[in-house]
Amino acid sequence: MGSVIRKAVKMPQSLDSVRMLKIKGLSVMGACGYSDIKTGRMYLQDHVLLVVLEGVYIVRYGEQEYSLRKNEMVFLHKGIVIDYEKYGEEDSRHVLDYMMFFLKDELLHEFMKISNLPVPNPVSPDPTAVHSVNERLLSYIASLKPYFEKPEAIQDELIKLKMLELLFDILDADKGLLNQILQLRQQRLTGIVEVVEKNLLNPVSLQDLAYLSGRSLSTFKREFRKVYNEPAIQWIRNRRLEKARELLTHSGMPITEVCFATGFENVSHFSKAWKKKYGIPPSAMRNRKWAGD
């Protein structure tokens, strides 16, 4: 398994080519223009609040998919690899307009102190969900737009104050979303099961999974075996092959597409792993299906 993190665009580290406000580790990205469909992959180094003002932005990670349209937002926690698809719609002249707010743990800690909020309960976190953007948040975003024209003229502390203002606006507008944001600050180590299940069908290496879970590679392997009673690489390969068999049996997807859809990076490796497990090449399984066996 190759390293998907090395290949993914790292955000906000790779923001230099877009309109942005960035100072002392705080980042806000703004993008507006005419856009046909664009796809890509990002590794999130910080927590991200994605707000879509016009157009469509689709986010996928693991088996989860979130589709955002005009005046919708979603919060994504750091340390994950996402695939995205974004485009402007025909009825809005293909305009795509969105903002990404990158929120560090230190900022969330400061917000909790000055707002006197209780520490959220990490046992029952609110699920990730798409939320509507209300008028107050739209007004806040409109107030940010002028700063993108001359970001070098903005005082350092102003960006920090604007980020804190965002959190206060969310506190008044959507407590469920705020709870989700603050709960993630409490999660120092992500559970082995959560990381593996979310990234099972992505072409991630064991080093990637260890990093995403906040563990060293040796600790990840040791704890994985305690949970699954099987070596990590063997368990992951078998799960991917089982999913591939399901797709070959019940869908018309070509073998190459099945290979990439189940986390394998090349067809040759996929075919060898398949034959070792099932005793026949994947093409023979497909032929048996069409023959009615």
Region of 199 please: left (phi>0), alpha (psi -120 to 50) or beta: alpha
Q: Are 67 and 26 members of one domain?
A: yes
Q: Are 233 and 278 members of one domain?
A: yes
Q: Are 80 and 200 members of one domain?
A: no
What is the token pair recorded at 100?
């990404």
Can you give the pLDDT at residue 268? 93
Can you give the pLDDT at residue 288? 62
Query: Between 29 and 209, where is the model more confident?
Result: 209
Can you give the pLDDT at residue 127? 66
Q: Which domain holds residue 216?
A: 192-291
- State what percent of residues in the chain have pLDDT above 90: 27
Specify the length of the chain in residues: 293
Nearest Cα neighbor of 248 from 270, 232, 233 is: 270
Bridge partner list, 9:
42
Q: Are 39 and 102 members of one domain?
A: yes
Q: Are 15 and 152 members of one domain?
A: yes
Query: Lowest-confidence range among 118-122, 165-169, 275-279?
Result: 118-122
Domain tally for the chain? 2
d(CA 247, CA 149): 49
Q: Residues 63-108: pLDDT tens digits?
A: 789 999 999 999 888 777 788 999 999 888 889 999 999 888 788 8
Q: Are 109 and 236 members of one domain?
A: no
Q: Are 204 and 236 members of one domain?
A: yes
Q: Are 88 and 197 members of one domain?
A: no
Q: Are 162 and 217 members of one domain?
A: no
d(CA 229, CA 193): 13
Q: Are 12 and 97 members of one domain?
A: yes
Can you give the pLDDT at residue 293? 47
Task: Say which DSSP state 251 is in.
Answer: -
Can you give the pLDDT at residue 290? 45
Can you give the pLDDT at residue 262? 93
Q: Are 34 and 162 members of one domain?
A: yes
- Listed residues 166, 186, 206: the one ending a domain: 186
